[in-house]
Amino acid sequence: MLSETDDPLVNGKIPSTEGRDPAYFSYYAMLQHQVVFKHSRTQNMLQDTVRTSTYRSAILLNGPLCFHDKLVLDVGAGSGILSYFAVQAGAQKVYAVEASQMAEKMRKLVEAANTAESEALAKNAFLKDKIEVIQAKIEDPDLPIPKVDTIISEPIGVLLIHERMLESYLYARDTFLKPGGTLFPSTGSIFLAPFSDAALWSETMGKARFWEQPSFYGVDLSALYSDAKDEMFGMPVVGSFDPRTLIAQANPGGYVVDFYTVTLEELQDMTIPFIWQASYTGIVHGIAGWFDLHFSPPPSVPTGNTIAMSTGPAAERTHWQQVRFLLKEPLAVNAGQTIQGWMRCVVNEMRSYTIEAEIMVGEGQLTNPTIPLTSIYNLDFNRRRGKWRLHEQTYNYNYYPQSDNLFRPEYNCLYEPEHPLDTTVVVENNFVEDNQFII
């Protein structure tokens, strides 16, 4: 784990990803990571039908306006599937930029179309002379790429932002996109909601309690218990979960990241405010997160088709799934109470983000997200603060959707109010400038 002095939430540095790039690109150079093994439960890349079919629909349905006879740039092209879709949509030429050795495999496929003696003998004849494969990072200098009409990419990770590929997407936008050009995807929306899952929390706590043993083969491990608890609860839990474990619904529309306008600085340090109204009485064990993607032509193309995709717990599964951030100390809430807080996401050197969040039940003032975490916050009976590193993920694949007409909220230890709730909730960002009110 990072020490406090290395933590971007503390020292204000914007870390480089250079040290992590070789391993990152080697991973995506392997064919097995471009497809999915059906028996692994982990959907990935090409066989994620939601992901792949959504991209194809967005590209083909907007083909006449955004791709036909256009110059297209595919950033982080991987297997090249988005480039092939762009050609199917009528692109004049596609520049497919891929830093890993997967570029060689893509080039092999493209050259099979380019070098065939006749179109009848060619494999994927529609690709002939349409794609130029460039093995490089998009940030490398002097790439042979002109200004393009459209940029396509799949720069998305867990909670939208993991892996920091969005930074390369923005670089491509600022460097190669013509004014009024198209970005697919165009926006991403991050959704957060409180959840209750006693089994997951107890399982995580059990891992930490191993280090509480005073005599493990004669060795007292208890000096490491506090560190173990910080580590176990600092690991985001990736995996699908039952949407019926949500104590409140996410804020409508989510936290929108507009890829047409967002700046690099905004992407590298962002704070997401939230306010919810509890639908049930229960225990908040943490914050769940997911995202939606939208594919919308720019304002200069007013007649285009907007295509959307959700990775939420009630949507069809994707390889991104959802992520849950467990609190070290759960928080009790009554139906109808307001739950408010914020989540701050700051880039780190592991091609990911360090995340800190504050969650509070009832009335009160939220602290400023830039104030470092101290243990005093956990002494506040209605407030919790947590810290997680998005790259240190653990996985939970225990949920399988079932059609159960007999389900009741109390099966998940959630209790309905006796009387209907007033669902009017006012959103205010009431951060305070210091923590002097903590006594």
Active site residues: 48, 154, 163, 319
Amino acid (1-letter code) at residue 197: D
Which tokens belong to 424?
A: 């009017």
Task: Check if the beta carbon of residue 271 is closer than 8 Å to that of residue 342.
Answer: yes
Omega prior to 185 cis, within 30 of 0: yes
Q: Judging by beta carbons within 10 Å of its beta carbon (0-12, 13-18, 19+), is residue 212 exposed, middle or buried?
A: middle
Task: Check if the beta carbon of residue 85 is closer than 8 Å to that of residue 59.
Answer: yes
- C-alpha 18 chain-centroid distance: 21
Q: What is the SS3 assignment for 264?
A: helix
Q: Report CA torsion sign: 278, 281, 283, 285.
A: negative
- C-alpha 243 chain-centroid distance: 18
Element of type H or E holding 61 = helix 49-61
Amino acid (1-letter code) at residue 369: P
Minimal CA–CA distance to 241: which of 293, 311, 310, 345? 311
- C-alpha 152 chain-centroid distance: 18
Task: Check if the beta carbon of residue 344 is closer than 8 Å to that of residue 10.
Answer: no
Dist CA 14 CA 388 (whole Å): 17
> Where do the H-state alpha helices sit in 234-351?
264-268
Q: Report CA torsion sign: 308, 311, 313, 315.
A: positive
Beta bridge partners of 123: none
Distances (CA, A) of 95 to 67, 105, 332: 13, 15, 53
Strands 307-310 and 282-295: antiparallel
Q: Judging by beta carbons within 10 Å of its beta carbon (0-12, 13-18, 19+), is residue 238 exposed, middle or buried?
A: buried
The contacts of residue 220 (CB under 8 Å, 6+ apart) are: 213, 214
Task: Check if the beta carbon of residue 377 is closer than 8 Å to that of residue 438.
Answer: yes
